[in-house]
Structure 1
Amino acid sequence: MLRSFTLMRSLTFKWTVTLLLTSLIGVILVGIFAYRTTVTQFDRLRSEQAEAIFMENVTHYYEENGTWDGLETWLKGEPDSVGPHDYFRSPDQFALVDADGVVVVDHGPFHKGDSLPEDILTEGTPISLDGETIGIVLTAMPPPELDPTEQRYVDGTTQALIIGALGAGSTALVIGLLLSRQFLRPLTELTAAITAMRAGNLDQKVNIRTQDELGLLAQAFNEMSANLHQANQLRKQMTADIAHDLRTPLTIISGYLEAMTDGTLKPTQERFKTMSEEVLLLQRLVEDLRTLSLADAGELKLMCAAVAPREILDRVAASFQEAASSAGVMLAVEADAALPSLWIDSERMVQVLGNLVANALRHTPSGSSITLMAQEKSEQVELRVQDTGAGIVPEDLPKIFDRFYRSDPSRQTESGESGLGLAIARSIVEAHRGTITAESTLGQGTTMIIRLPAYKA
């Protein structure tokens, strides 16, 4: 139990660290992006404002003078005619080109009197007056450093964005931790249930809280747990039944041998015959268990060949004809000779049908009938053993193919049956890719139905 809780704490820790790192990286990226974006956009705004004021001033000068001559001197000598910032009062950020492409106000890489090519001129902002282009403003240098007021504005904006990002990241982390508890809760319950199963308590069930992958996992676990619990119960019951079925004949044999050894009973032919019958019962039980173990392991060998359904039914009927006559039961076969063949191990199928007929004889009174039938249906051939006997009570019908199941426990001692016949029959039929079912009406009889694939050569 401690290890399971340690595992869940480890998963929670990993989940928390993942969320924390994700939030932290997100906040850092948002902060960097916000700062870069704020500075870039603010610089762009400053440049656009400076350019607008510069253009307004030089346009005003041209309107008054009709020429660019003396502009550079005028710009340097008019400190109060432009904007409130130092870089607005000088042309140091911009160069001016006249309508002929000649630099009239120089700065940076642009020198006064130079004629500039068209590709450079297209990057500038034209100045128009009365619909005529009188010059072009070129940005020669980036804007100067921020003054203290502007820097405080940028820092405040960036700080607000970072605080917002930290708040969003913290909120995401808290929500993630709350959701992680919900996500990991099914795993916690599964771990506890698996630990209980490891301790031997196989009957475990966890709540299915969602319909996602975790819900499917919980559903699969519940089905597995139920199947394991049922298999374990069947194993215990089978072990008890085997012990009982072995103990009864061994008790009889050992009792006779002990009594004859100490002289309490005299050895007689009849007593030896009784012991021999008990030995045969033990042999049948061991052989039945061996057949079932081979079927469970998928190692039941089948020697298959094409066999006509009528042929197999006639063979079984011939084997039980004398026993049926002795019991006053009419045994008949009804099957069309033109039915499709079956690809079966005839010896194994005779074993199955023989078991069904033997069961029918035990529960069919004198004057009744047992009919072996075959018919084709939907690319299958149905083999039926139908009797008009006592029938099976409805609550027993779903259990008759279970191992060691007997509706009447006294039948073992009375008839010598092991309680494995129908379980073996089902295993053999399923090994042939077929099915076996039962239909019964209490007081009217029972029909055992074997469905096998029709053989197509």
Structure 2
Amino acid sequence: MTLRYRLTFISVAFMTLGLLILGLTLYSAERAILLNGVRDDLVRATNQIQSQYAEAKKPLERYFSGTSVSLLPVPNEDFEGSPISVAVYYPNGVRLASTPSFMGEGPTLDSTELASALEKNSVISTKPSSYGRTMQVVSPLTFDHTVVGVLVASQSLRTVDRALDTLSLVFLIAGSLTVVLMFLGISQITKRGLRPIDMIANTAEQIVRAEDLSRRIAVANPHDELGRLATITNDLLARMEGLFNTQKRLTADVSHELRTPLAAMRGNLEVLRRGAMRNPELLNESLSDLEREVARLNRLVNDLLFLAQTEAGVQMRSEPVELDTLILEVFRELRPLAEHVKLQIGSEDQATVIGDRDRLKQAMLNLAYNAIQHTPEGGAVTLSLERVGREVALRVQDTGEGIPPDILPNIFQRFYRADKSRVRKGGGAGIGLAIVKWITDAHRGTIEVRSNVGEGSLFTLWLPLAPATDRLITGQLRESPSQPLPIVK
């Protein structure tokens, strides 16, 4: 059963239960009102007869002579078709007199009612008859505070029963029609209300079948719950589309990045096999090329591994790091890869920070290698280290083609790549600068970029000095980094 019909049946069931409770309540109230009216008429009739007999001050036989009782008319405006019948009995239960009965039947008196009346107690009861139920009131008839007889007043409940039956029939017919109308109405309401969910399901099904994440759900009312659901689903689809496209681009980029060094390595191995082993100059050249391509592969694999670790959460070490020594190591590792680009060291101050040495070295390697990749032959890449106030600046400056202003805000995004035609040796996978930004943030630092198209770029990585050399910052105690750096996700 669909959600629409489940909601419809549940709603109709609850409303039917409400109608049933309402109908039973009204029926019970109306029944009580009608029966109380009959009872009040009977009590009023017996009180009237009691009053007349008391005023007459006559013996029972003289006042009620024969079988006809001379009574004043008993008002019965509510039920004109059901007159009140009255009968008088001796204390021994023998009828003395009675009024004309309703449809030929008069009041009856059993031994229990007689005994109760002789004890000066009134009894109100409902009894069956050949023409339906009757209600009667049995009360003592007294003379000088002595029970001299029993007075019985009765009235048929046929009119009351007919009224209650009619009311039940009206409730049954009206309730049935109401339930049917409610079912149809709620079914249409739920159909319209669940239409956005149907659209979401249909869109998801189309996406699965066509593998097209560009489809979106039309939002009729973005302010209600279903509209918000549709909006959130569209946002989810947009994010999935972005991740899917990123994955496709990453797969293509990584394949390209791996294919290039592997092809170079294969070519050098082929050269070695053809006789380069006997030529020392050619052998050294081939081994240098192999070493360079292996380093390139190793760097790419490390970047991808580190990127995966950042998703799961990686614990950063907290230890003193001498940046002057670190920058020299970066210089030595990248010098064989610079080829026709001049790699040099500028200013080199002594500075110590607290952090993860391997991660900081990885950030500098990525910055410097990125600069080499974007610097044409004959250009220069300069690494420098300067202490500026209470911070240290790690700078990588190149004389490459520069970064256009429209691209500059996006260069630290994961898998973002500029136009490959602007890169001398082919674009990277777009993760190097994202890793630099992550490492900088993890060390409570900042990174700045200045670039002019055709002139080059300057990347500056700002880090706080170690507490031993800089304890105060703007008059406040710097947060001690002796504790482990946080896990950054």
Q: Give the TM-score, by structure 2 length.
A: 0.64
After TM superposition, the structure 1 stretch with the greater mean CA deviation from structure 2, 41-50 or 414-423, is 414-423
- Name the structure 2 match of 1:6: none
* Equivalent runs, 1:301-450 vs 2, <5 Å: 302=316, 304-307=317-320, 311-319=321-329, 330-331=346-347, 342=354, 344-356=355-367, 359=370, 372=386, 385=395, 392-407=403-418, 409=420, 414=425, 419-429=430-440, 432=442, 438-440=448-450, 442=452, 446-448=458-460
| 3-state SS, counterpart of residue 89 of structure 1 | strand
Residue 192 of structure 1 pairs with residue 208 of structure 2: no
- 1:235-261 deviation digits (Å, cap 9, x = unpaired): 111111112112222333334544665
Shift of 1:400: 1.6
Matched, 1:244 2:260: no
| Cα contact 2:5–2:187 (8 A) shared by 1 | no
**CA–CA separation in structure 1 for the residues paired with 2:59 and 2:368:** 124
- TM-aligned CA deviation for residue 201 of structure 1: 2.7
Q: Deviations along 1:59-81, whole A, 9 cap, x unmatched?
A: 4554x436897798389713562
Shift of the alpha carbon at 1:406? 3.9
Amino acid at match of 2:119: D
Specify every segment of 5 or more residues in structure 2 that has no aligned partner in the other structure, as ranges: 89-110, 123-136, 138-144, 146-150, 465-478, 484-489
1:287 aligns with 2:302: yes
* Counterpart-to-counterpart distance in 1, 2:382 and 2:276: 46
Q: Is the 8 A contact 2:7 2:190 kept in 1?
A: yes
Q: Indicate conservation of the 8 Å contact 1:368/1:388, yes or no.
A: yes
Per-residue deviation, 1:45: 1.6
Greater alpha carbon shift after TM alignment, 213-222 vs 83-92? 83-92
1:45 aligns with 2:56: no
Whether 1:114 and 2:119 are equivalent positions in the alignment is yes
Q: Give SS of 2:347's match.
A: strand
Indicate the larger mover: 52-61 or 288-297: 52-61
Q: Distance in 2 between matches of 1:382 and 1:88?
A: 113
User: Does the 8 Å contact 1:20/1:173 carry over to 2?
Assistant: yes
- Aligned alpha-carbon RMSD (Å): 4.9
Secondary structure at the counterpart of residue 37 of structure 1 = helix
- Per the alignment, do residues 33 and 405 of structure 1 end up closer, same or farther by CA in structure 2, a change over 3 Å counting? closer
- Pick closer, same or farther for the CA change 1:144–1:394 going to 2, 3 Å: farther
Deviation at residue 315 of structure 1 after TM alignment = 3.6
**Which of 154, 161, 173 is the equivalent residue of 1:163?**
173
Q: Contact 2:417–2:428 (CA<8 Å) still a contact in 1?
A: no
Residue from 177, 184, 202 that aligns with 1:174 = 184
**Structure 1 pair 276/411, CA: closer, same or farther in 2 (3 Å)?**
farther
Contact 1:27–1:166 (8 Å) recurs in 2: no
Read off the aligned partner of 2:302 and give its amino acid letter.
E
Contact 1:19 1:176 in 2 (8 A): yes
Q: Distance in 2 between matches of 1:414 and 1:38?
A: 96
Name the counterpart of 2:26: 34
Q: How far apart are 1:286 and its partner, in Å?
A: 2.6
Residue 178 of structure 1 and its aligned partner are, at CA, apart by: 1.5
Query: Structure 1 residues 13 and 257 mapped into 2: Cα distance closer, same or farther (>3 Å)?
Result: same
One-letter code of the match for 1:173?
A: F
Give the unaligned 5+ runs of structure 1: 1-8, 93-105, 118-123, 125-133, 135-139
Once the two structures are superposed, the pairs formed by residues 65-76 of structure 1 within 5 Å of their partners are: 65=56, 73=64
Aligned equivalent of 1:274: 289
Aligned equivalents of 2:248 and 2:62: distance in 1?
110
- How many pairs does the alignment contain? 401
Partners in 2 of 1:203 and 1:10 — Cα distance?
Answer: 28
> 2:85·2:154 contact (CA, 8 Å) conserved in 1?
no
Instruction: Provide the C-alpha distance between the structure 2 equivalents of 1:263 and 1:280, rounded to a whole number of angstroms.
Output: 25
Note closer, same or farther for the CA distance 1:276–1:384 as it changes in structure 2 (3 Å cut).
Answer: closer
More helix by share: 1
Q: How does 1:216-235 map to 2 (within 5 A)?
A: 216-235=228-247
Other-structure match for 2:140: none
Sort the Cα spacing of 1:366 and 1:141 in 2 relative to 1 into closer, same or farther, 3 A.
Answer: farther
Following superposition, the deviation at residue 158 of structure 1 comes to 3.0
Q: Select which of 85, 91, 112 maps to 1:89.
A: 85
% identity of equivalent residues: 21
Task: Note the C-alpha offset of 1:263.
Answer: 7.8
| Equivalent residue, structure 2, for 1:203 | 214
Q: 1:210 to 1:168 in 2, by over 3 A?
A: farther
Contact kept, 8 Å, 2:446 with 2:463, in 1: the verdict is yes
What is the alpha-carbon distance in structure 1 between the residues aligned to residue 116 and residue 460 of structure 2?
111
| Structure-2 change in CA distance of 1:107 and 1:450 (3 Å) | farther
Q: Is the aligned partner of 1:15 residue 2:7?
A: yes
8 Å Cα contact 1:439/1:447 also seen in 2: yes
When residues 153 and 39 of structure 1 are mapped into structure 2, their CA distance, relative to the original with a 3 A threshold, is same
Q: Secondary structure at the match of 2:113?
A: coil
1:333 deviation in Å?
5.1
Q: Is the 8 A contact 2:448 2:459 kept in 1?
A: yes
The two structures have a TM-score, normalised by structure 1, of 0.67
Amino acid of the residue matched to residue 331 of structure 1? Answer: S
C-alpha deviation, 1:402, in angstroms: 3.8
Give yes or no for contact 2:417–2:427 (8 Å, CA) kept in 1: no
Q: Which amino acid in structure 1 is aligned with residue 27 of structure 2?
A: Y
